[in-house]
Chains A and B, each alone.
Chain A
Amino acid sequence: MPTQAYLLLGALLFSLGTLGVVLRTNALAMLISVELMLNAVNVTFVAAAREFGDLDGQVIAFFVIAVAAAEVAVGLAIVIDLARRKRSLDVDEASELRG
């Protein structure tokens, strides 16, 4: 398969993730969408690594997975706290930090 196909898949997944973050107001759904974006990037990295025969892309993909795990840990903690305080997962409920 040509590398373009992987890149197209990555771009598609990234766009989906972005749309999810922007359009959904459910905190969990937004978290999943962020995961989707990160993994779209991973796909792109791995595809690029195969294209150029370089291992750097794969290494970075592992870093991203580690960061994503940390991000999920923190993100879920925030979501749980949000759910406790607001009795809801709607992020628009938590809009106190405004100008």
Chain B
Amino acid sequence: MTLALVVAFPLAAAILIALAGGRLGRRTTGVVASLAIFLSFGAAASMIATMLSRPLIEARIGPWLPIAGADFALVVDSSMLAVTLTITGVSALISVYSIGYLAHDRGTQRYFAALDLFVAAMLLIVLASNLALLFAGWELVGLCSYLLIGHVRERPAAGAAAVRAFVVSRVGDAAFLGGILLIATSFHTLDLAQIAGVAIEHGNMGTDPLVVASALLLVGALAKSAQFPLHVWLPDAMEGPTPVSALIQAATMVTGGVVLLMRMRSALAPDVLQAAAIIGGFTALGAALVAMGQRDLRRVLAWSTISQVGLMFVAAGLGAVFAARFHLISHALFKATLLLGSGSVVHAASDELDIGRLGGLGRRMRWTAGAFAVGTLALAALPPVSGFFSNEGIAAAALAESEPFLLGLALVTSFISAFYAARLFVLVFVARPTVEREVHESSVVMVIPIAILAAGALVFGGLVSSGVLPIGSGRADEAPISIVAISFAIALAGFSLGWLTYRHGLERARPVEEVTGRLANGFGVDWVYRVTFEQPFTAIARELDTGAERANQLAIDGLVLLVRASSTLVRRVQAGYVSRYEILLIGGAVALLAYWNWSAR
């Protein structure tokens, strides 16, 4: 039952805050929300001991839908326990940070209610024992992201971004739902363990409807994890408060797709997993290229998230679940550090987001700068920070699966990542400021979570790599020393190049910016979307409205006219003159008599 508590704490807190949040007061609301997630973390941590003696912990809470397997039931193994601890731990720190970040916000009640629900929903994705409950978490995550991205309702951009995130997420949800239902039709159950069992036994995920089902599940995963071509919502989602971005990109939501691939690994069609790896590889590279040219501090980080999650897809698609999980956790730590750090920067620099207009913050915000430096090194995959070990794990996995192409993609991505990581850090903290402004370090309640996350990002990789800290079953592919050396060299080269290019500010790097800036529009995917998706959609709806629906209304009016016309014909008979009625009566009687008389013969 401890397992149930892991989900129940944030869920209960969400309900409590939604119902009674107005009476709690701003600060108490935040404390309650954070406390609930910490308790959830504690509950998960307390299961580590149990985990040593048995492989699985299950909790069946009650029935739900009248379909086989669709119950309120949770299950966890050591791997997913590690993911659970990451989610709850990082979310709890983000929640604490939010108390400081939203100290002057009027909507803390709905913010923290949605935040707790968000965490609970994400935990459902990780812990649900069946696809129906997993889907429930899947959709609720999308809903909560909508609520949180659109938190500042007065900003039109936030509203638009929230709508976009929700609709794109729902595209994935629709595909996912279709996949689930196809699986339910073929397997007659939604229980993940049973599905995996049947799939392993008969190997029948290779048959046609199940390839379709797998493909649909993959589309769902792509949308949730912001992978090409369903990544468009994530850069816009930065319109939400920064802690929300941290939550979406580090702890929850975008890792949902990776978690799904890991959990459904044995049931998905092999071709589809292969496709996931390839899409992940291309997304990783493409998003990294786009990130190079971004001027908005938070958009750099958003595109880097897309890129890093792409690497997780590569690993998960190749079946290197350990590497995928390793990178998932280390990415959660360093990306949360970076995003919360960027939130502090934005807070301090009075909402300035353009990295060309920031600079020199390193001396004024020492704590933030230090943490950000750790995050940057991790993003650049430089030792001894965790990003180095997890990136190397993915490269080793690609090598072990003898996928030279994907290995190449991963290495090029890590070069570019190192380049733009250096660019970001240098421009914000090191280069000479272009605009003089008063900045100050954030409050303690914001600094402490960042510091903890940075410390985690710093040591986590080494601890796992040296075998001190277990993160669940499986183990990393043994990386040949050549790969370690090559990936280190590539990362170092990219980082140095970035540092040298931008060390004197954006102005001095104008020739480079002109090249990278061309990539900043994301290869025109937004435009393609407008042309191939949004415009046809509105056009179809408009055509139906003015065409089919008009025709339908006219048909009704036609019926009305028909009735009107026949009634004017008939009403002449009913003229109100008694004598006419009389004639009709008698005429009718005579006619009837005549008929009877005639028919009797």
Contact = CB atoms under 8 A, between A and B. Distances in A.
Most buried by A among B570, B573, B575, B578: B578
B576 A98 contact: yes
B579 A22 contact: yes
Given A18-B586, A22-B586, A98 B575 contact: yes
A21 B579 CA distance: 7
Contact of B582 (A22, A95, A97): A22
A99 B568 CA distance: 8
Given A18-B586, A22-B583, A22-B586, A99 B570 contact: yes
B579 A23 contact: yes
Contacts of A95: 575-577
A96 B579 contact: no
Interface string B24-63: 0000000000000000000000000000000000000000
B577 A92 contact: yes
A98 B571 contact: yes
Interface string A67-99: 000000000000000000000000110111111
A91 B578 CA distance: 7
A98 B573 CA distance: 9
A79 B574 CA distance: 21
Interface string B562-573: 000001001111
B512 to A, nearest CB: 88
Nearest to B573: A99
Contacts of B573: 99
A99 B571 CA distance: 5
Most buried by B among A18, A22, A23, A25: A22
Nearest to B583: A22
Contact of A96 (B567, B571, B576, B586): B576
Contacts of B577: 91-92, 95
B105 to A, nearest CB: 69
Please report whether the interface of chain B is mostly helix, strand, loop or mixed according to DSSP. Answer: helix
A25 B578 CA distance: 8
Contacts of A18: 582, 586
B443 to A, nearest CB: 84
Contacts of A48: none
Contacts of A94: 576
A98 B567 CA distance: 12
Contacts of A97: 576
Contacts of B576: 94-98
Contacts of B579: 21-23, 25, 91-92
A82 B575 CA distance: 18
Contacts of A30: 578
Contacts of A98: 571, 574-576
A95 B579 CA distance: 11
B564 to A, nearest CB: 13
Most buried by B among A23, A25, A98: A98
Contacts of B578: 30, 91-92
Nearest to A24: B579
B571 A21 contact: no
B73 to A, nearest CB: 69
Nearest to A98: B576
A23 B577 CA distance: 11
A98 B572 CA distance: 9
Contacts of B567: 99
Nearest to B571: A99
Interface string B183-209: 000000000000000000000000000
Nearest to A92: B577
Contacts of A23: 579
A3 to B, nearest CB: 21
A71 to B, nearest CB: 15
Interface in A57-73: none
The 3 A-B residue pairs with the shortest CB-CB distance in the complex, in nearest-first order: A95-B576, A98-B576, A99-B571
10 contacts: A21-B579, A22-B582, A22-B583, A22-B586, A23-B579, A25-B579, A91-B579, A95-B576, A98-B571, A98-B575
Given A22-B582, A98-B575, 7 more contacts: A21-B582, A22-B583, A23-B579, A25-B579, A91-B577, A91-B578, A99-B572
Interface of B: 567, 570-579, 582-583, 586
